[in-house]
Structure 1
Amino acid sequence: MTYTPSSTDVLFLLLGACMVLAMHAGFAFLEVGTVRSKNQVNALVKIITDFAASTVAYFTIGYTLAYGIGFFDNAAALSVDNGYGLVKFFFLLTFAAAIPAIISGGIAERARFYPQFTATLLIVALAYPLYEGMVWNGNFAIQAWLEATFGQPFHDFAGSMVVHGFGGWLALVAVLLLGARRGRYPRQGAVAAHPPSSIPFLALGAWTLTVG
């Protein structure tokens, strides 16, 4: 018997997607509040641009790579199951776009705009979907091998490893490659303070991320 998602299923998934989408406002406020005042606009523009680039990359390549589902079809085919497939894409997109947002916070005031933009496209279109598909969709038979070897496949809780772990490890690598912010260590042994530009924005971002 084939289960057809109901409108309640679609609504539940849509509400979850909206909550994860709210996290991106949290990422933006957190980064804007953390950087110096002169870099606030740059930080906000990068966060917004990263989300836009992630949407295009995930729609055209990433989602198909992870789940084998494309969107270059007619409206009737895409709206079956009460539009559940489209809402599921939106839900998973909000997770995919969180990867560059996590990395952006780690390398704030360290990276130029265009290299970071290019990295966002490559990560969301190629790197993340391969990992996501392996864990959440059983691609490459890794999950089947884990279950056969250890009795259980790998269980990811709410993107703790697929999203936050993956983004955090990439951010760590980026920080190690880019080094400290310019002017942080002006001379041997000295450390220049770079205090947050806005504690209220920082706190608002942290609270929004907690809710999301």
Structure 2
Amino acid sequence: MEQLTTSLDVLFILLGAILVLFMHAGFAFLEVGTVQHKNQVNALVKIMSDLGVSTVAYFFIGYGMAYGVFLGFNIDGQLTQAMTEKSGYELVKFFFLMTFAAAIPAIVSGGIAERARFYPVLLSTFLIVAFVYPFFEGITWNGNFGIQAWLEEQFGAGFHDFAGSIVVHSVGGWIALAAIIVLGARHNRYDKEGRIKEQHPPSSIPFLALGAWILSVGWFGFNVMSAQAIEGIQGLVAMNSLMAMVGGILAATFVGDKDPGFVHNGPLAGLVAICAGSDVVSPLGALVIGLVAGALFVKTFTWTQKTLKIDDVLGVWPLHGLCGMWGAIAVGIFGSTALGGLGGVSMMSQLIGTGLGILVAFVGGYIVYLFVHKVATLRMDEDEQYQGADLAIHRIHANPPRD
């Protein structure tokens, strides 16, 4: 029975890893559908190459930093042990968590689209996934540096982030904001008075919608399989994910006045927000969390572009950074027994954990992207931006003309 349970755990987390891996196709098509046609190839190649770099960075450095299990260098025979014990559970756990880590550069990619050079971005990806992301991941999910223990001692509960509203999404969104600030806006995006000069509508609504659907479906693996063992699976997590997703759709539909870009990002806003508390809030609480997240995305996307003059192409800071922040704080509200939650949460711990995640992400991301920009130049020049990344970098159109 012990062997059967172990094998089921391996299968369970493997299926989760496959679903989250498939979400990277969603990231790719969401970006392909949103950027201008002359940058579609770049979006596809960038997401795929980022995945490869992320896997290597996390295998050799990041996973060991976060969990103290070094697979890449076989320290004290840890790789050999992982290969031979528990049906390889530690290996598929790495696979599962690697897909989370690789989501960080996939998130950033949408924010810096249409003006970032290729190899400097890959260098940035390696540094982010090897050092910045696992630093906070280890604090939250492995108790590194005693911060979670201190929060529990001081406030009765540690920082609760079941599936990564902060650890993955908000961290990715705030790293993206740092990268956008370092890169600056696209050429001719704003005039001298700061008004939007060139509008860039989505190049393909069908591709954008496809990306949103792939992400939405894969998200149920992202959330439910975060239990990482068959005995920890909860139908509540699946139900809450559904309700938050629906809340995001409805809010984005009505607040965004049927705009297809908002409508298809609405479910993603709700799903980002519910990650943290999907195991402790009630379905009604999840619906409210999703409703707030959908409206928050629509309003802050417009505010970011027009008022703050932050050229975030896919709106990844509002979607992941701010909706993820809301989701973590919402745990302290809707996770309480007074509002139908299961309890065991602390608002102070949620606020401190959220603030720490934002600090690590923004400062760490800014240092990495500024360093890479200084040594390798992140930004494409004006002629390259005008020509488009597809021709300037990859020397091919998304739909080459036939002879």
Which residue is equivalent to 2:214? 208
- For the pair 1:146 / 2:183, whether they are aligned, the reply is no
Q: 1:81 to 1:195 in 2, by over 3 A?
A: same
What is the CA-CA distance between 1:11 and the residue it aligns to?
0.8
TM-score scaled by length of structure 1:
0.93
Which residue is equivalent to 2:99? 94
- For the pair 1:42 / 2:47, whether they are aligned, the reply is no
What is the rounded CA distance, in whole Å, between the counterparts of 2:168 and 2:82 in structure 1? 29
Q: Aligned to 1:18, what secondary structure does the other structure show?
A: helix
The one-letter amino acid paired with 2:85 is V
* Native 8 Å contact 1:184 1:193 kept in 2: yes
Q: 1:195 to 1:166 in 2, by over 3 A?
A: same
Which residue is equivalent to 2:170? 165
- For the pair 1:199 / 2:205, whether they are aligned, the reply is yes
Structure having the higher Rg: 2
What is the rounded CA distance, in whole Å, between the counterparts of 2:131 and 2:99 in structure 1? 16
The one-letter amino acid paired with 1:42 is N
What is the rounded CA distance, in whole Å, between the counterparts of 2:192 and 2:81 in structure 1? 64
* Native 8 Å contact 2:58 2:98 kept in 1: yes
Which residue is equivalent to 2:331? none
Q: 1:20 to 1:6 in 2, by over 3 A?
A: same
What is the rounded CA distance, in whole Å, between the counterparts of 1:190 and 1:156 in structure 2? 37
Deviates more, 1:65-74 or 1:84-93: 65-74
Q: What does residue range 23-102 of structure 1 map to in structure 2 within 5 Å? A: 23-71=23-71, 72=74, 73=77, 75=80, 77-102=82-107
Aligned residues: 210
Q: 1:76 to 1:138 in 2, by over 3 A?
A: closer
* Native 8 Å contact 2:82 2:88 kept in 1: no
What is the CA-CA distance between 1:174 and the residue it aligns to?
1.7
Q: 4+ runs of 1 displaced by more than 6 Å? A: none
* Native 8 Å contact 1:79 1:86 kept in 2: no
Cα offsets for 1:174-205 (capped at 9, x unmatched): 22232221232356546211121111111100
Select 1:137's aligned residue among 138, 142, 152.
142
Unaligned runs of 5+ in 1: none
Deviates more, 1:173-182 or 1:28-37: 173-182
Q: 1:11 to 1:125 in 2, by over 3 A?
A: same
What is the rounded CA distance, in whole Å, between the counterparts of 1:117 and 1:82 in structure 2? 33
Cα offsets for 1:111-149 (capped at 9, x unmatched): 211221111000000111111001000000000110111
The one-letter amino acid paired with 2:199 is A
TM-score scaled by length of structure 2:
0.50
The one-letter amino acid paired with 1:211 is V
Q: Aligned to 1:135, what secondary structure does the other structure show?
A: helix
What is the CA-CA distance between 1:172 and the residue it aligns to?
1.6
The one-letter amino acid paired with 2:209 is A
Q: Aligned to 1:69, what secondary structure does the other structure show?
A: coil
What is the rounded CA distance, in whole Å, between the counterparts of 2:82 and 2:129 in structure 1? 25
Q: Aligned to 1:111, what secondary structure does the other structure show?
A: coil
- For the pair 1:184 / 2:189, whether they are aligned, the reply is yes
Q: 1:87 to 1:197 in 2, by over 3 A?
A: same
* Native 8 Å contact 2:82 2:90 kept in 1: no
What is the rounded CA distance, in whole Å, between the counterparts of 1:142 and 1:128 in structure 2? 16
Which residue is equivalent to 1:14? 14
What is the CA-CA distance between 1:42 and the residue it aligns to?
1.2
The one-letter amino acid paired with 2:155 is F
The one-letter amino acid paired with 2:33 is G
What is the rounded CA distance, in whole Å, between the counterparts of 2:125 and 2:196 in structure 1? 34
The one-letter amino acid paired with 1:192 is E
What's the % identity of the aligned pairs?
A: 66
* Native 8 Å contact 1:133 1:139 kept in 2: yes
- Higher RCO (Cα < 8 Å, 6 or more apart): 1
The one-letter amino acid paired with 1:124 is V
What is the rounded CA distance, in whole Å, between the counterparts of 2:106 and 2:150 in structure 1? 32
What is the rounded CA distance, in whole Å, between the counterparts of 1:157 and 1:65 in structure 2? 20
Q: 1:77 to 1:119 in 2, by over 3 A?
A: closer
Q: What is the Cα-based RMSD across aligned positions, in Å?
A: 1.7
